[in-house]
């Protein structure tokens, strides 16, 4: 084969080779240097499809599958194509496009590959976040449905609905905390709020401090510890969590946030205590030292709520600084919905369905300063997110 390549071919073979080369090589290829063709690039890919072997002397049309040929053959094909001014064939152009695309993929800049990887990572993280947010959203809807059912039932059925409402409220709060900050943070929140709530309730029923003298109706809300139903400390978690989140949206200074939580907890209790006392879940020893229209609930109850919630807020502030997990901003849609439903839904239920118009006014005003501030912030700020630190 080398002998045939080096020898001078007959005139008719030379003319045939001239026609074949001009069909395969673009005129622009003649401007490239031999060094460029040796180092790669479009000319190298095109040269690989030039004819070789005895087919050149027989005038056969080369195939894309033809193997590599020598540099002399590639040079000769370039020169003849440039002299004739003929464009490459369609089959050859298809091969060049495929080879060029493959080379571009192989030699893409590192920044482009990094951008694609970052985009895929962001998509995966978004999918995981949506999956984690699914359970809190479902729990929230079930909690609202259970509260809607509360005024529609009576007797033992209402006691069961009360337990379900408490469990769903605590479950929604903890699921949201876990989705945003992590399971360890949610567990710490539960220990602080429900633990301190249980201790304060045990002390309150035993000594009257810090709320005043009161007692629970046993065997109505499930098992109890030291005469305190175990669902009661869970109610603390379900009620305190959305107020804590809203306080974080409205204020940034930790000390101010602690006071806001304590005051918001008292506002929530202006709904809770009248409703539970009217249902017979607990009773007060002193029934004539309360607010106008609600004298059966003493002032000491609200003072006790403020003090206990303030201690909780202090412990939560410390916990959020040392808790494991991602401390980045997180979505607050579920917590905001819990707060708004507690505020607006309780006003409606007390005024229309439960026959408690006085507590509807007190509770509505007790949470209005938080609720109005939240609505203004949402309107001005759009899609709000909370800063955990």
Strand 228-229 with 294-298, pairing: unpaired
How does residue 16 score in pLDDT terms, banded at 50, 70 and 90? Answer: very low
Calpha distance 270→109 (Å, rounded): 64
Segment 365-389 shows an average pLDDT of 78
Segment 132-159 shows an average pLDDT of 94
pLDDT for residue 76: 52
Closest of 263, 217, 246 to residue 365, by C-alpha: 263
- From the number of C-beta atoms within 10 Å of its C-beta (0-12, 13-18, 19+), residue 371 rates as buried
Above pLDDT 90, what percent of the chain?
59
Q: Can you list the positions of beta strands (E) in 99-241?
A: 214-216, 224-225, 228-229
Supply the mean pLDDT for the chain: 80
Beta-bridge mates of residue 284: 214
Residue 253 has pLDDT above 50, yes or no: yes
Element (H, E) at 48: none
Question: In sequence order, what DSSP letters do the residues of 160-200 get, joined into one string?
Answer: HHHHHHHHHHHHHHHHHHHHHH-HHHHHHHHHHHHHHHHHH
Calpha distance 244→339 (Å, rounded): 10
Render the burial of 122-149: b for 16+ CB within 10 Å, e for the rest: eeeeeeeeeeebebbbebbebbbebbee
pLDDT for residue 266: 98
Give 330-344 pLDDT, tens digit per residue.
Answer: 789 999 999 999 999
Segment 44-57 shows an average pLDDT of 44
Helix axes of 231-250 and 357-381: crossing angle, nearest 10 degrees: 40
Give, rounded to a whole angstrom, the gap between the first and last alpha carbons of the chain. Answer: 79
pLDDT for residue 101: 64
Give 311-361 pLDDT, tens digit per residue.
Answer: 999 999 999 999 987 655 678 999 999 999 999 999 999 999 999 999 999
Closest of 186, 150, 191 to residue 171, by C-alpha: 186
For residue 250 the two structure tokens come to 């409205």
- Dihedral sign from CA coordinates of 249, 251, 253, 256: negative
Residue 9 has pLDDT above 70, yes or no: no
pLDDT for residue 105: 61
How does residue 61 score in pLDDT terms, banded at 50, 70 and 90? Answer: very low
Contact criterion met (CB below 8 Å) for 74 and 47 = yes
Segment 78-88 shows an average pLDDT of 54
Calpha distance 302→305 (Å, rounded): 5
pLDDT for residue 331: 85
Give 85-122 pLDDT, tens digit per residue.
Answer: 555 556 555 666 666 766 666 666 666 556 767 777 76
How does residue 387 score in pLDDT terms, banded at 50, 70 and 90? Answer: very low
Calpha distance 5→355 (Å, rounded): 108
Segment 204-212 shows an average pLDDT of 97
Contact criterion met (CB below 8 Å) for 209 and 252 = no
pLDDT for residue 65: 42
């Amino acid at each position: 084969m080398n002998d045939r390549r080096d020898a001078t071919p007959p005139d008719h073979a030379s003319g045939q080779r001239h026609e074949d080369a001009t069909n395969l090589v673009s005129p622009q290829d003649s401007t490239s240097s031999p060094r460029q063709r040796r180092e790669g690039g479009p000319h190298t890919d095109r040269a690989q499809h030039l004819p070789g072997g005895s087919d050149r002397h027989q005038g056969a049309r080369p195939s894309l599958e033809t193997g590599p040929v020598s540099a002399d053959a590639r040079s000769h094909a370039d020169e003849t194509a440039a002299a004739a001014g003929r464009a490459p064939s369609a089959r050859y152009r298809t091969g060049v496009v495929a080879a060029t695309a493959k080379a571009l993929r192989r030699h893409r800049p590192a920044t482009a590959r990094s951008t694609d990887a970052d985009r895929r990572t962001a998509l995966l993280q978004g999918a995981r976040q949506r999956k984690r947010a699914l359970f809190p959203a479902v729990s929230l809807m079930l909690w609202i449905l259970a509260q809607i059912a509360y005024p529609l039932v009576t007797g033992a059925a209402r006691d069961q609905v009360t337990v379900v409402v408490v469990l769903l409220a605590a479950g929604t709060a903890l699921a949201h905390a876990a989705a945003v900050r992590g399971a360890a943070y949610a567990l710490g929140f539960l220990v602080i709020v429900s633990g301190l709530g249980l201790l304060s309730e045990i002390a309150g029923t035993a000594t009257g401090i810090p709320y005043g003298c009161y007692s629970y109706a046993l065997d109505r809300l499930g098992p109890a510890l030291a005469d305190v139903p175990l669902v009661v400390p869970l109610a603390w978690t379900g009620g305190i969590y959305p107020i804590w989140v809203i306080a974080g949206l409205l204020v940034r200074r930790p000390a101010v946030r602690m006071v806001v939580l304590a005051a918001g907890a008292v506002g929530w209790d202006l709904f809770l205590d009248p409703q539970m006392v009217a249902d017979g879940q607990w009773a007060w020893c002193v029934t004539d030292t309360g607010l106008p229209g609600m004298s059966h609930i003493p002032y000491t109850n609200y003072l006790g709520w403020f003090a206990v919630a303030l201690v909780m807020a202090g412990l939560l502030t410390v916990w959020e600084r040392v808790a494991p997990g991602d401390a980045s901003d997180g979505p607050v849609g579920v917590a905001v919905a819990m707060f708004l439903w507690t505020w607006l839904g309780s006003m409606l239920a007390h005024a229309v369905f439960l026959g408690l118009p006085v507590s509807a006014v007190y509770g509505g005003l007790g949470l209005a300063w938080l609720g109005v501030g939240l609505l203004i912030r949402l309107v001005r700020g759009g899609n709000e997110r909370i800063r955990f630190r």
